[in-house]
Amino acid sequence: MKHSVDITQCPKCAAKELGRGKHAGYAAIYPINKMSLGSEVEHIICIECGFIIESYVKKPEKFKGTIF
Ligand SMILES: [Zn+2]
């Protein structure tokens, strides 16, 4: 997974130490109108205040065509 902008600091508390977590299994996100497997969700988290700075689904292409 590549992201063009690197986050280096928490926008809430300015802590510079960030962690990475993921939802998996039953907490996966599923496309709303498709019979499809879901995608895991990955978060960039501030390890100081717990703020979730960014969330990504790992397979965004699964969500194509779910808005109409
Ligand atoms: Zn923070």
- What is the pLDDT, as a whole number, of residue 2? 57
**Which pLDDT band holds residue 13 (cuts at 50, 70, 90)?**
very high
Give a yes or no: residue 10 inside a domain. Answer: no
List the structure tokens of 62: 């699964």
Give a yes or no: residue 3 inside a domain. Answer: no
Distance 16 CA to ligand 1 centre (A): 8
**Residue type for position 22:** K
Give a yes or no: residue 38 inside a domain. Answer: yes
Give a yes or no: residue 12 inside a domain. Answer: no
What radius of gyration do the chain's Cα atoms show? 14
Supply the pTM of this predicted model.
Answer: 0.70
Give a yes or no: residue 8 inside a domain. Answer: no
pLDDT in tens, 24-66: 767 788 888 777 788 888 999 999 999 999 999 888 998 888 8
Which structural domain, as residue segments, surrounds residue 22? 18-62
* Number of structural domains found in the chain: 1
Distance 8 CA to ligand 1 centre (A): 11
Give a yes or no: residue 6 inside a domain. Answer: no
Distance 17 CA to ligand 1 centre (A): 8
Give a yes or no: residue 32 inside a domain. Answer: yes
What does each C-alpha distance from 32 to 5, 36, 41, 56 come to in angstroms?
Answer: 28, 9, 15, 17
